[in-house]
Amino acid sequence: MDIELLYFDGCPSWQHTLADLQALLAEAGRDDEVRLVKVDSMDAAERLRFLGSPTVRVNGRDVESNIPAEGYGMECRIYWVDGKPADTPPREWLARAIAAG
């Protein structure tokens, strides 16, 4: 399974997301690696279709089911969960993506 965590250095949330991913993989008894992808420019953000940090993709699919088709950039990503903003993807989304992977 290919698990990518895209981030930029100024993001305060990517390390929390990495810890969540590693814990969920351990709980599932999996030894898959999380590939860290550091995004360091607007050109890279556009090329990688980077919607902000942190972005998690499992086998090339974003863990968020309804992602925008544009809006790539060097910014912190906001996830809307039950009408409320969150700075990391919910563990449930990560677990579902890992199980499907």
Q: What is the pLDDT at residue 69?
A: 74
Pull the structure tokens for residue 47.
Answer: 């090329």
- Is CATH 3.40.50 the classification given to domain 3-100? no
pLDDT value of residue 71: 82
pLDDT at 47: 95
Which pLDDT score, from 0 to 100, does residue 90 have?
97
Indicate the pLDDT class of residue 101, thresholds 50, 70 and 90.
Answer: confident
Residues 43-97 pLDDT 10s? 999 999 999 999 999 999 999 988 877 789 999 999 999 999 999 999 999 999 9
Residue 20 has pLDDT above 90, yes or no: yes
- Of 22, 6, 23, nearest in space to 64 by CA: 6
Cβ count near 87 (within 10 Å): 17
- Tell the burial category of 37 from Cβ atoms under 10 Å away from its Cβ (0-12, 13-18, 19+): middle
By three-state DSSP, how is residue 45 classified? helix
Q: How far is CA 53 from CA 6, 65, 69, in A?
A: 6, 17, 16
Beta bridge partners of 61: 58
